[in-house]
Structure 1
Amino acid sequence: MQQVMRILAACAPAVEVGKVPQGILRVIPIIGGRFEGEKLRGTVLNVGAEHLASKRKRTCLCKIFAENGRRCCHSN
């Protein structure tokens, strides 16, 4: 896997949705930012949010998929 860009996102405070099988679901609104890489750069728009399921505070499960369905990143 090759890194193609770095994203610096500005986020609003998290909103706790409630319990799910993976832990506590929180939604974090993305309110702007920027991204840049060797061949691309641009602005992050304020039209999305990150959905995180976590078992404990300060930890989260994060999966990122490409448009073709292949997993790009997985952290926990």
Structure 2
Amino acid sequence: MPNPKPISLVAGANPSPLVDPQEFVLVGPLPAATATVNGGVKRAAAQANSTATDVAGLVADFNALLAKLRTAGVIAP
């Protein structure tokens, strides 16, 4: 199999397997994700299912989830 051709995916790029059925590889690392730039993010730590029986417990569970998403860079701090 020939070497895959390197391409750079940028806004508006839309490689189509129907038009260009060659394999491709990403060139360079993914940029950090921001509010305006799509990029790579880390997987957030697991969050247990809530077993809250009152609003205070649900708030605590929800805040724990938000903290994990912030730590992973999924949402802004």
TM over 0.5: no
Range into which the TM-score falls when normalised by the shorter chain: under 0.3
Query: What TM-score, normalized by structure 1, do the two folds share?
Result: 0.22
Query: What TM-score, normalized by structure 2, do the two folds share?
Result: 0.22
Structure of greater Rg: 2
